[in-house]
A and B are shown apart, each in its own frame.
Chain A
Amino acid sequence: MRDGDRLPAPGEEMPAPIGVPLVDLLDRVLATGVVIGGDIVVAIAEVPLVRLSLHALLSSVGGRVASPFGDVPGCGEEPWTR
């Protein structure tokens, strides 16, 4: 079963996902972005010890995790179009 089969017809609103999958969020908030010269920047992806424990942590993350915040802004909407 492909996700494409469940896509709404053109013109319909894309349903807002239930929270953001944690694993996808971690891909973004930890490993990417800009490091500006803070006094401490814990560049987690570059610290082997932490990377290892993150790896172990990720094993329990799985796919979709319900967000404690309900609808997270920034997901399921295009903020700049409003």
Chain B
Amino acid sequence: MLHAFAVCRPLPLPHLAEVGGLSSAPVRTLRVGELALVVQEVPAESFTEEALRERLSVRAELERCARAHHEVVAAAARSTTVVPLPMATVHAGAARARAAVAERAGPLLAALDRLEGRAEWGVKVYIGPPGPGGTAERDRRSPTGPNPPGAAEGTGGLAYLERLRARRRSEEERDSLVLRVVERVRAEAARVAVATRPLRVHGVEVTGREHRQVLNLACLVEAGRGRELVARVTAPDRRTDPGARVRVEATGPWVPYSFAGEVVDEGR
């Protein structure tokens, strides 16, 4: 069985010698016309669909495989542009692997052209709880505000309604803040990025309850403009976010995983 990691042009990839991949076999390339497939021989019994599914359901194993896969893809990408393949792409042998690449050679070459000299950056936006400078907090402390001291802590029907209203107001504030911030970050990213693609937003089980992720954006950026992107999206914006509830995180540069599929999929 051959595990496939990435497709690139047939150039020397010296850094493949430094990575272990998913088995003890050497990571090597298969030449397929104008393309090369980065592969590794793996034991057939551990790479059946069932075995894979079982192993990847164990967190430590999932992490080991994901990092090993990424390590190989990144090692190839140190020498040339690559189209990364999803983890767990397995072929019955070299002939089958070659045929799979040859069948899609045109779109794969187009993907390589598109990705050349570009990197992926991740931009994640989180909204935290209202801070001491937040509007909701200011209202509560203001003697003339709609929520005078004492009222919110009361037990009567009026106090209850007041608490409901305050909560709704704070939720509305948060939603409107989210809309404005997401729009601003997307606009800033679009000024620098060649393309952007929203990824699945991480749930509270990853981010914690206090910080809700509201945007997980992949950005394809020309090499050398990554820092500009990071500076733009993470720049504090007191006008949109006076309470400093927003945190913007950038990761990268990544091998452009999130943009490898577009061109190739068009050929389907």
Q: Which residues of A contact B (CB under 8 A)?
A: 1-5, 7, 10, 14, 17, 20-44, 47, 49-50, 53-55, 57-63, 65, 67-69, 72-82
Contact = CB atoms under 8 A, between A and B. Distances in A.
A33 B89 CA distance: 11
Interface stretch (B61-69, B132-140, B143-151, B172-180): B61-69
A74 to B, nearest CB: 3
Given A57-B57, A78-B223, A39 B85 contact: no
B253 to A, nearest CB: 5
Interface in B63-102: 63-64, 66-67, 69-71, 73-75, 77-81, 83-92, 96-97, 100-101
A74 B231 contact: no
Interface in B192-229: 199-200, 202-203, 205-207, 216, 218, 223-224, 226-227
B239 interface: no
Contact of A34 (B66, B111, B249, B252): B111
Given A5-B236, A22-B66, A40 B206 contact: no
Chief secondary structure at chain A's binding surface: loop
Contacts of B70: 20, 25, 28-29, 72, 74
Given A34-B111, A34-B260, A39-B90, A24 B122 contact: yes
A78 B224 contact: yes
Best-surrounded residue of B52, B62, B203 (most CB of chain A within 10 A):
B62
A58 B223 contact: no
B106 interface: no
B47 to A, nearest CB: 7
B85 A80 contact: no
B199 A31 contact: yes
A55 B206 CA distance: 10
Contacts of B142: none
A75 B69 contact: no
Interface of B: 4, 7, 15, 47-49, 52-53, 56-57, 59, 62-64, 66-67, 69-71, 73-75, 77-81, 83-92, 96-97, 100-101, 103-104, 108, 111, 116-117, 119-120, 122, 199-200, 202-203, 205-207, 216, 218, 223-224, 226-227, 230-231, 234-236, 244, 246-255, 257-258, 260-261, 264-265
Contacts of A31: 86, 199-200
A73 B75 contact: yes
Contacts of A1: 247
Nearest to A58: B206
Given A1-B247, A79-B77, A57 B236 contact: no
Given A3-B250, A4-B231, A33 B67 contact: no
Given A24-B122, A34-B265, A42-B88, 10 more contacts: A4-B235, A14-B227, A32-B199, A33-B257, A34-B83, A34-B86, A73-B78, A75-B254, A79-B78, A81-B223
A2 B234 contact: yes
